[in-house]
């Protein structure tokens, strides 16, 4: 009785190949993805953007970020400008966005002062 050699093991192509990377839009957001990176949700991205707007306005006006935040919140810039216009604003340069926000802030603060007087 002669022993038959085992047939060579053929690698299964699907199991040994690296999977193709998924397109960016198909990654889960706000959750840990297979590659170990946690992709932020759109809401998280908008919050990060709003925070950077506060910091930029504070730096330009030479005030603290907490003062800038209170001023922006008081005239409802987050609700009326920053969040609704996120798609358009975040594609602009930091300088342009900061200029626009400061201009809106000053106009709204002046209007609020007129209403109070």
* Three-class secondary structure of residue 2 per DSSP: coil
pLDDT tens digit at each of 117 positions of the chain: 566 666 666 655 555 556 666 555 555 555 556 666 777 889 999 999 999 999 999 999 999 999 999 999 999 999 999 999 999 998 999 999 999 999 999 999 999 998 887
Q: Give percent helix, percent strand, percent coil of the chain, each to the nearest 5.
A: 60, 0, 40
Contact (Cβ atoms closer than 8 angstroms) between residue 66 and residue 47: no
Give the whole-angstrom CA distance, residue 86 versus residue 83. Answer: 5
pTM: 0.68
Task: List, for residues 66-79, the tens digit of each pLDDT value.
Answer: 999 999 999 999 99
Residue 69 has a pLDDT of 97
């Amino acid at each position: 009785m002669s022993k038959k050699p085992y047939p060579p093991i053929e690698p299964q192509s699907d199991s040994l190949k690296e999977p193709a990377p998924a397109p960016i839009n198909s990654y889960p957001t706000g959750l840990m993805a297979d590659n170990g990176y946690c992709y932020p949700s759109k809401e998280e991205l908008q919050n990060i953007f709003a925070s950077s707007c506060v910091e930029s306005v504070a730096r330009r006006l030479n005030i603290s970020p907490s003062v800038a935040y209170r001023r922006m919140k008081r005239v409802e810039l987050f609700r009326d400008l920053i969040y609704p216009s996120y798609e358009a604003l975040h594609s602009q340069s930091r300088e342009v966005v900061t200029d626009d926000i400061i201009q809106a802030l000053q106009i709204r603060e002046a209007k609020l002062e007129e209403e109070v007087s």
